[in-house]
């Protein structure tokens, strides 16, 4: 059986960052990743916040991201909020798609010579007093001192470890797709009785990116081009002659957090530990920071320079951070509701956030 000090299930951004942290600390780490390549289908994170850029800067790789993205000095919470006065040299957010972010992280991890078992899944594990036996979908087994689930919101590791995932069921779903239309669509944001919708141009392609609030919560099956067509007609009265899609996906406002980030020799990080709607663009960012908090601690414990109890500080420090993000995104979703009472509340929130102290408190807590 192949042995590694740490096995990471999932080579998304959280798993890649954690692997980089561990290998820099001299730990033998391997990633098991379901995808055969780092390519992503569909749209996910659109950028990096200040703190994530700071942690990448500490590793000397921030420039790799900065050179490819676009800088904005505002973050959004109901309204755009200026962050140019924040006490950091990265007082901005960086607009950069998750496919680029993952590619750059994967290149870095490749330079660090991390072992990646690609095109394979972790299908189960058994933990004992001295280690964890990890089973892969190709029948291979890996032995590790610790297993970290960085395997996303539907985390098999979290479920198999019996870690509860309490929270809030979804109330709203959104269709998101990249499509080709015969007619020019109505670009920009559009509000109606069901919520906010948006159609934007896709750079260097003749296609459009659509995000449509669905009239009813839909979770029943994977969405199709026909669903997008019907949703466009419901919102705009026409589907603009939609005829093809590069991808179609759906997300919801489901909000949940793992009750424990550690179960003996198994730990969770990133979306495996917390899921929330993508408003404010925070999921990827806090996953990377989970990885940075956990990395050095796990390295110290593996190298026996610190007691195992150091690992409990990971939950103690990172659980409250994600809990705050969950609260923040639930509030943002509520403020987007289109009824008149929510609009009145939104006007008051806008007035408050126009003042300095509430603005600072919210975006730089
Ligand atoms: C529409 C949308 C927009 C978003 N926008 C933003 C944004 O602007 N900013 C932001 O910060 N975040 C955003 N997010 C959230 C962000 O995409 C996630 O928080 C981020 O991808 C989490 O990274 P992760 O590595 O923890 O999990 P994931 O990215 O889900 O990666 C998990 C990895 O594990 C692999 N895997 C799963 N199961 C197994 C298994 N059993 N064995 C092996 N491998 C496995 C998967 O293939 C995947 O590569 C958005 C999300 C969505 C859906």
pLDDT tens per residue across span 182-213: 999 999 999 998 899 999 998 766 799 999 99
pLDDT tens per residue across span 292-310: 999 999 999 999 999 999 9
Rounded to whole angstroms, the Cα distance separating 7 from 3 reads: 9
CA of 104 to the centre of ligand 1 (A): 15
Residues 6+ apart with CB under 8 A from 14: 150, 269, 270, 271, 272, 287, 288, 290, 291
CB–CB of 75/363 below 8 Å?
Answer: yes
Say what the pLDDT of residue 254 is: 97
Q: What is the average pLDDT score of the chain?
A: 95
CA of 15 to the centre of ligand 1 (A): 10
For residue 23, pLDDT beyond 70: yes
Q: Which of 93, 284, 295 to mutate to test the pocket of ligand 1 (most atoms within 8 A of CB)?
A: 284
For residue 56, pLDDT beyond 70: yes
- C-alpha pair distances (Å), 214 with each of 27, 171, 194, 232: 46, 11, 7, 10
Say what the pLDDT of residue 31 is: 98
For residue 243, pLDDT beyond 70: yes
Ligand 1 pocket, residue 9 CB under 6 Å: yes
Residue with CA closest to ligand 1 atom 37: 151
């800067």: which residue's tokens?
A: 57
Q: Which of 10, 157, 274 to mutate to test the pocket of ligand 1 (most atoms within 8 A of CB)?
A: 10
Say what the pLDDT of residue 204 is: 67
Say what the pLDDT of residue 220 is: 83
CB–CB of 161/153 below 8 Å?
Answer: no
For residue 111, pLDDT beyond 80: yes
CB–CB of 262/313 below 8 Å?
Answer: no
**Considering only CA atoms, which of 241, 242, 194 is closest in space to residue 218?**
194
pLDDT tens per residue across span 316-356: 999 999 999 999 999 999 999 989 999 999 999 999 999 99
234-254 burial, b for 16+ CB within 10 Å, e for fewer?
Answer: bbbeebbebeebeebbbbbbb
For residue 357, pLDDT beyond 80: yes
Rounded to whole angstroms, the Cα distance separating 315 from 262 reads: 7
- C-alpha pair distances (Å), 83 with each of 74, 98, 138, 188, 327: 6, 22, 48, 24, 21
Per the document, the length of the chain is 365
CA of 250 to the centre of ligand 1 (A): 14
Ligand 1 pocket, residue 295 CB under 6 Å: no
Ligand 1 pocket, residue 329 CB under 6 Å: no
**Considering only CA atoms, which of 99, 97, 137 is closest in space to residue 118?**
137
Q: Which of 11, 138, 278 to mutate to test the pocket of ligand 1 (most atoms within 8 A of CB)?
A: 278
Ligand 1 pocket, residue 13 CB under 6 Å: yes
CA of 40 to the centre of ligand 1 (A): 10
Ligand 1 pocket, residue 14 CB under 6 Å: yes
Confidence of residue 365 (pLDDT cuts 50, 70, 90): low
Q: Which of 8, 16, 45 to mutate to test the pocket of ligand 1 (most atoms within 8 A of CB)?
A: 45
Ligand 1 pocket, residue 284 CB under 6 Å: yes
For the chain, which domains are there?
A: 2-166+255-330 (3.50.50.60), 173-252 (3.30.70.2450)
Mean pLDDT score, 277-286: 92
pLDDT tens per residue across span 119-136: 999 999 999 999 999 999
Say what the pLDDT of residue 142 is: 97
pLDDT tens per residue across span 137-157: 999 999 999 999 999 999 999
Ligand 1 pocket, residue 280 CB under 6 Å: no
Say what the pLDDT of residue 221 is: 87
CA of 271 to the centre of ligand 1 (A): 6
In terms of phi and psi (left: phi > 0; alpha: psi -120 to 50; beta: otherwise), the region of 63 is: alpha
For residue 291, pLDDT beyond 80: yes
For residue 45, pLDDT beyond 90: no
């Amino acid at each position: 059986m192949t042995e590694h000090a740490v096995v990471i299930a999932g080579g998304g951004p959280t798993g890649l960052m954690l692997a980089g942290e561990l290998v820099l600390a001299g730990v033998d780490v391997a990633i098991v990743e379901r995808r055969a390549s780092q390519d992503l289908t569909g749209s996910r994170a659109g950028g990096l916040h200040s703190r994530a850029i700071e942690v990448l800067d500490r590793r000397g790789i921030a420039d790799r991201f900065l050179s490819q993205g676009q800088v904005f000095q505002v973050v959004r919470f109901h309204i755009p909020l200026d962050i140019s006065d924040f006490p950091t040299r990265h007082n901005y957010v960086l607009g950069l798609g998750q496919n680029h972010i993952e590619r750059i992280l994967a290149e870095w991890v490749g330079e660090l010579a991390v072992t990646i078992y690609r095109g394979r899944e972790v299908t189960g594990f058994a933990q004992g007093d001295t280690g964890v036996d990890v089973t892969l979908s190709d029948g291979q087994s890996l032995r590790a001192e610790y297993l970290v689930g960085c395997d996303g919101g539907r985390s098999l590791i979290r479920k198999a470890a019996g870690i509860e995932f309490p929270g809030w069921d979804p109330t709203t779903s959104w269709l998101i797709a990249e499509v080709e239309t015969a007619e020019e669509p109505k670009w920009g944001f559009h509000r109606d009785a069901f919520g906010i919708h948006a159609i934007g141009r896709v750079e260097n392609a003749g296609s459009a990116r659509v995000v449509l609030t669905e009239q009813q919560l839909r979770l029943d099956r994977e969405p199709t081009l026909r669903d997008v067509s019907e949703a466009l007609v419901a919102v705009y009265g026409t589907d603009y002659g939609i005829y093809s899609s590069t991808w179609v996906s759906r997300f919801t406002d489901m909000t949940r957090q793992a009750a424990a980030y550690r179960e003996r020799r198994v730990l969770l990080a990133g979306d495996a530990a917390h899921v929330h709607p993508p408003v404010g663009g925070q999921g990827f960012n806090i996953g990377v920071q989970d990885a940075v908090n956990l990395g050095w601690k796990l390295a110290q414990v593996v190298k026996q320079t610190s007691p195992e109890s150091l690992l409990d500080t990971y939950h103690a420090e990172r659980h409250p951070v994600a809990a705050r993000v969950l609260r923040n995104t639930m509030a943002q979703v509520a403020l987007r509701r289109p009824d008149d009472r929510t609009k009145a509340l939104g006007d008051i929130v806008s007035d408050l956030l126009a003042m300095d102290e509430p603005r600072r408190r919210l975006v730089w807590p």
